[in-house]
Structure 1
Amino acid sequence: MTTETTRTNPPMTIVAAFFGFLASTVSALAGGFLILNYRDELAATLRDADTSLSGERLDQAVLVAQGFALAVVAVVVLTYLWLSFKLKAGRNWARVALTVLTLLHAASLLATHATWAGYLSCAVAVLAMVSSYLPPSNAYVAGAGRTS
């Protein structure tokens, strides 16, 4: 088997990791959009934090908070997608970056009130991460590193 064939045909473990990270990204995106359903809870939290907020200012603060959350989700989703495709291409640095992001995701579950989508997303990402380090994945990444 030539190196070029190895690079264009990733092993099933890499393909599984790739689709696992894609699925994790989709569920993270779904979780990010859940913030739109928690407008009243967010307003109550902001009202408790600053009782001087008027109705209009509170609405603006909620809108800014939701917009910021969606912007963060968009950046995370785009980063995960880019790294997933780089992993599929056999880039070890992408595998390491996805590992770090997955570990940060898992740690964030302990520090926040996570949703079901957050837990699902993290579980799928952990399985994808493990798949990306199995022996066939290691051989593929090592082979791709020598040809890039």
Structure 2
Amino acid sequence: MTTPQDPENRPPQQPYTPPQQPYTPAPPPLSDSELAGYGQQRPAVPEPKEVRLSFFLWLAGAILLVVSSALVLTQRDAALEEARRAPATPGITVEQLESTVTAILVFLVIIGVVLAALMVFFAMKARAGRNWARIALTVLGAAVFLYHLIGFSLVGLVIVLVVAAAVVTLYLPASKAYFDSVKRAG
């Protein structure tokens, strides 16, 4: 077995020098066109007017959906009266009926606000040329349609028509060419 050497009695060694790395020059500075586009998410292809129109229709639909959802809360008394006219369920008190109606209305408002937020988010992504957002907006348009089947109203009809127009404009030939060109460029 060997014993460690005393550090004072060690033979002199060469000082440690790290291995030499080959010299790599600094990258060239960015051009003005590269600096102008730095950090932007916009595609190189300009969006056609159909995609822009669809974007604004989605925004309008989202605003109308939030307003419509807020108006649902003003219909509490009418919904409560309708629930009272329904055949009585044994064991349900008036307080439970009122709280159930309120909970359902609040749930409907939350669904409307979430749908509106998703509409805005996906519309922004579709405007940037993301094809998956176009597909998501189509599915969301169907969800908005189903949401408004629950209770028919004039505002609901307007929202459904706006959303339908927004979906159609996403599939027009100029829009399809835009999504295809962004896909090829990305």
Give me the TM-score of the superposition, normalised by structure 2.
0.68
2:180 corresponding residue in structure 1: 142
Q: Deviations over 1:32-78 (max 9, x none)?
A: 11211111122123332544433322332222112111111121111
Structure 1 unaligned segments of length 5 or more: list them: none
The Cα of 1:4 is off from its aligned counterpart by 4.3
Q: Which range moved further: 25-34 or 86-95?
A: 25-34
CA distance in 1, matches of 2:154, 2:146: 15
Structure 2 unaligned segments of length 5 or more: list them: 1-41
Check whether the contact 1:31–1:115 (CA below 8 A) recurs between aligned residues: no
Supply the RMSD in Å over aligned alpha carbons: 2.1
1:39 and 2:39 aligned = no
1:123 and 2:161 aligned = yes
Check whether the contact 1:20–1:127 (CA below 8 A) recurs between aligned residues: yes
Higher relative contact order (CA 8 A, sep 6+): 1
As a proportion of its length, which structure holds more helix? 1
The ranges of structure 1 where at least 4 consecutive aligned residues each deviate by more than 6 angstroms after the TM superposition are none
CA distance in 2, matches of 1:84, 1:37: 29
Which amino acid letter does the alignment assign opposite residue 29 of structure 1?
Answer: V
Q: Alignment length, in residue pairs?
A: 143
Which amino acid letter does the alignment assign opposite residue 93 of structure 1?
Answer: W
1:5 corresponding residue in structure 2: 44
Q: Please, which of 91, 96, 101 is the counterpart of residue 62 of structure 1?
A: 101
Change beyond 3 A, Cα 1:27–1:49 = farther
SS of the residue aligned with 1:114? coil
The Cα of 1:122 is off from its aligned counterpart by 1.0
1:29 and 2:66 aligned = yes
Q: Bigger radius of gyration, 1 or 2?
A: 2
